[in-house]
């Protein structure tokens, strides 16, 4: 079965394919780099990441472009407040964004498109619209899109504009637009915008591109007039994506994107995340509170993308434990020696094969990550049981490892880089004088005074020696000492394994 995805435009689940027979031409609306990314942002990018990875699992090559909006009202305002040019201001947050993406193991798209580097394409797209009188200039020098010239407007978000009256929710007095819903293509420069280098002198007049035109122009420039797939958060459906369709299709008279993918918003502790509710978290906030990057990734992926996810700290703890169980299992499969053949081989191998098939089928069914995850846990339990009974063969263990590899090619949580990620966040907090935002536990366990791996290894060796001499009091004292510092020990026939709590 091939990968099938819900398409917002058609309202149906449809197979995903590359219309040019080579690579899936895929555009995803990226971040506006005016601040640090919050977990809601990353839920979207995380599911886009799963989409990428699932496509690869199906042998579908990608040409994935993501934009960076590096000029907009907030950037201009914040840059001005900081006395910086917009480029200087936004570069810092773009860097932070990619660091966060790395911390969450989110793959980079094939291409990154910055708005400020693609202004000429936006200008010429507006010119094409102006030639048809779909774009018009107002007295202040701004350009707008004439919505009533695009009959399909509303087809993505299923809005019936006939029933919407001008002025109902839009302030008509503010602009000299022809119709209230006409949206800006080009915003005339104001004096302070010229000062912060947020204005371009073009044939349209001095100004800067509107948000919507950026994505239309860049998507078509990098991927062609008609693309296979367009993605973003659910909020972008209207008006942003609707406007993109209008601009692009009005200019080319060709379908813009065949398939639209929208990721639903997450709730935090039952409410929409907002600064005023006090439930607004950046990735960095969570890392500095001591939550692991892997647990955050796993939690954000555990609920399928079309469902609302209620993000809670309890959920984060659950995910931490679930990831730990997977890692322990993965370790066991790799490190323990298994007999060549066992009587129980056949049924177990069959069960693993079934789990593998279910995993793939679940993902291909509109990226059902919850079901895919369950399939792996089913195998985990059965294989652990067999291992405990001594009936797990080398072959079955290898087959299990292959399934875990497949699982991790999507979920990407098995390799433990959490300590590294937390240390990076801690170093950043130190550099930015934000240590007051760091939990004391994180400072104790990951700060400069914390135990280095070699010190832990030395204590573990000392304890092993004490155990051999049956000096359990000393051995237990060392274990307790390490536990107090967040290091957990596990004895097994294969030796001692330690991990950070």
Residues of span 6-45 touching RNA by CB under 7 A: 29, 31-32, 38, 40-41, 43-44
Residue 141 has phi, psi (to 5 degrees) of 100, 0
How far, rounded to the nearest angstrom, does the alpha carbon of residue 244 sit from its chain's CA centroid?
A: 22
In the complex, the smallest distance separating the C-beta of residue 161 from RNA, rounded to whole angstroms, is 9
Q: Restricting to residues 327-356, which ones interact with RNA according to CB under 7 A?
A: 328-329, 332
Q: How far is the CB of 28 from RNA (least distance, A)?
A: 9
- Which positions from 225 through 264 interact with RNA, judged by CB under 7 A? 232-240, 263-264
71: left (phi over 0), alpha (psi -120 to 50) or beta: beta
Cα separations (Å) of 32 from 9, 262, 333? Answer: 25, 17, 43
Neighbours of 224 (CB within 10 A): 15
User: What does the block give as tokens for 168?
Assistant: 């109902």
Q: Does 178 bind RNA (CB under 7 A)?
A: no
Output the smallest distance, CB 102 to RNA, in A: 18
Task: List the strands of the sheet with 143-145, edge to edge.
Answer: 135-137, 143-145, 183-188, 205-209, 200-202
Tokens of 473: 């009091």
Binding segment (CB under 7 A) for RNA, from list 97-105, 192-200, 265-273, 423-431: 265-273
Q: Which residue, 29 or 199, has its beta carbon nearer to RNA? A: 29
**Least distance CB 499 / RNA (angstroms):** 8
Neighbouring C-alpha atoms within 13 Å toward the C-beta of 407: 31
Q: In the window 373-432, what residues touch RNA (CB under 7 A)?
A: 373-374, 377-378, 380-381, 384-385, 387-388
Q: Which stretch binds RNA (CB under 7 A): 79-87, 281-289, 312-320, 425-433?
A: 312-320
Q: Which of 432, 453, 476, 481 forms a contact with RNA (CB under 7 A)?
A: 476
- Name the one range near RNA by CB under 7 A: 122-130, 133-141, 220-228, 324-332: 324-332
Which H or E run includes 496?
strand 495-500
Nearer to RNA, 111 or 318 (CB): 318
CB of 145 to RNA, least distance (A): 12
Choice between 171 and 340, CB closer to RNA: 171
Which tokens hold the place of 386? 């067999």
Stretch that binds RNA, among 49-57, 137-145, 303-311, 447-455 (CB under 7 A): 303-311
Looking at beta carbons only, is 171 or 436 nearer to RNA? 171
For the chain, helix (H) and strand (E) counts, in that order, are 17, 17
Q: Of 43 and 52, which CB lies nearer to RNA in the complex structure?
A: 43
Question: Could you write out the three-class secondary structure of 372-403?
Answer: HHHHHHHHHHHHHHHHHCCCCCHHHHHHHHHH
Query: Which pairs with CB-CB distance under 8 Å and at least 24 residues apart come from 76-85?
Result: 76/192, 76/193, 76/196, 76/198, 78/34, 78/35, 79/196, 79/198, 80/192, 80/195, 80/196, 84/196, 85/196, 85/197
489 belongs to the binding site for RNA (CB under 7 A): yes
Q: Of 228 and 324, which has the nearer Cβ to RNA?
A: 324
Strand partners, 227: 257
Q: Is residue 211 at the binding interface for RNA, with CB under 7 A as the rule?
A: yes
Q: Angle at the Cα of 354 (from 349 to 360), degrees rounded to 5?
A: 130
One of 24, 147, 309, 426 touching RNA (CB under 7 A): 309
Is the Cβ of residue 303 or residue 442 nearer to RNA in the bound state? 303
Counting contacts by CB under 7 A, is residue 267 touching RNA?
yes
CA–CA dist 264, 25 (Å, integer): 22
> Does residue number 99 form part of the binding site for RNA (CB under 7 A)?
no
Which residue lies nearer to RNA by CB, 317 or 409?
A: 317
Task: Give min distance, CB of 180 to RNA, in A.
Answer: 9
**Shortest separation between residue 448's beta carbon and RNA, angstroms:** 28
User: How many other C-beta atoms can be found within 10 angstroms of the C-beta atom of residue 489?
Assistant: 18
Q: Rank residues 138 and 302 by Cβ distance to RNA and give the closer one.
A: 302
Site for RNA in 117-156 (CB under 7 A): none
Calculate the CA 382 to chain-centre distance: 32
Nearer to RNA, 102 or 430 (CB): 102
Q: Is 93 in the site for RNA (CB under 7 A)?
A: no
CA angle 473, 476, 482 (to 5 degrees): 140
Nearer to RNA, 321 or 437 (CB): 321
The only residue of 163, 191, 343, 440 in contact with RNA, by rule CB under 7 A: 163
């Amino acid at each position: 079965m091939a990968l099938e995805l819900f398409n917002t435009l058609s309202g149906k689940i449809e197979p995903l394919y590359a219309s040019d027979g080579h690579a899936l031409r895929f555009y995803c609306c990226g971040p506006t780099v005016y601040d640090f990314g919050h977990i809601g942002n990353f839920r979207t990018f995380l599911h886009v990441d799963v989409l990428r990875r699932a496509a690869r699992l199906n042998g579908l090559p990608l040409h994935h472009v993501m934009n960076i909006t590096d000029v907009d009202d907030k950037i201009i305002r914040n840059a001005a407040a900081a006395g910086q040019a917009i480029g200087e201001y936004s570069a810092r947050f773009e860097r932070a964004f990619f660091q966060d993406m790395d911390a969450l193991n989110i793959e980079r798209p094939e291409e990154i498109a910055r708005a400020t580097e693609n202004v000429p394409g936006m200008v010429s797209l507006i010119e094409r619209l102006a030639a048809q009188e779909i774009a018009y200039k107002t007295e202040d020098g701004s350009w707008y899109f004439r919505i009533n010239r695009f009959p399909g407007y509303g087809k993505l978000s299923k809005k019936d504009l006939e029933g919407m009256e001008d002025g109902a929710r839009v302030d008509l007095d503010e602009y000299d637009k022809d119709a209230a819903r006409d949206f800006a293509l080009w915003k005339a420069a104001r004096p302070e915008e010229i000062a912060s280098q947020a204005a371009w002198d073009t044939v349209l007049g001095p100004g800067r591109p509107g948000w919507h035109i950026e994505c239309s122009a860049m998507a078509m420039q990098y991927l062609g007039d008609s693309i296979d797939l367009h993605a973003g958060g659910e909020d972008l459906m209207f008006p942003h994506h609707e406007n993109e369709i209008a601009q692009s299709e009005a200019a080319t008279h060709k379908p813009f994107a065949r398939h639209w993918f929208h990721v639903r918003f997450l709730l935090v502790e039952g409410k929409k995340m907002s600064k005023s509710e006090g439930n607004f978290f950046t990735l960095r906030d969570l890392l500095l509170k001591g939550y692991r990057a892997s647990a955050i990734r796993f939690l954000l992926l555990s609920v399928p993308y079309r469902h609302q996810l209620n993000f809670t700290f309890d959920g984060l703890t659950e995910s931490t434990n679930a990831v730990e169980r997977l890692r322990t299992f993965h370790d066991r499969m790799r490190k323990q020696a298994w007999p060549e053949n066992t009587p129980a081989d056949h049924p177990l191998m069959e069960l693993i094969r079934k789990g593998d098939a279910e995993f793939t089928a679940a993902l291909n069914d509109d990226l059902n990550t919850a079901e895919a995850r369950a399939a792996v846990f089913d195998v985990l339990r059965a294989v652990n049981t067999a291992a405990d009974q001594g009936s797990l063969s080398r072959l079955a263990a290898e087959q299990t490892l292959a399934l875990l590899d497949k699982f991790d090619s999507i979920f990407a949580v098995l390799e433990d880089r959490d300590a590294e990620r937390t240390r990076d966040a801690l170093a950043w907090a130190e550099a930015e004088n934000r240590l007051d935002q760091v939990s004391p536990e994180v400072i104790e366990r990951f700060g400069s005074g914390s135990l280095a791996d070699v010190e832990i290894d030395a204590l573990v060796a000392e304890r092993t020696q004490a155990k051999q001499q049956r000096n359990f009091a000393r051995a237990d004292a060392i274990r307790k000492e390490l536990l107090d510092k967040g290091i957990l020990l596990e004895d097994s026939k294969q030796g001692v394994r330690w991990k950070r709590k």
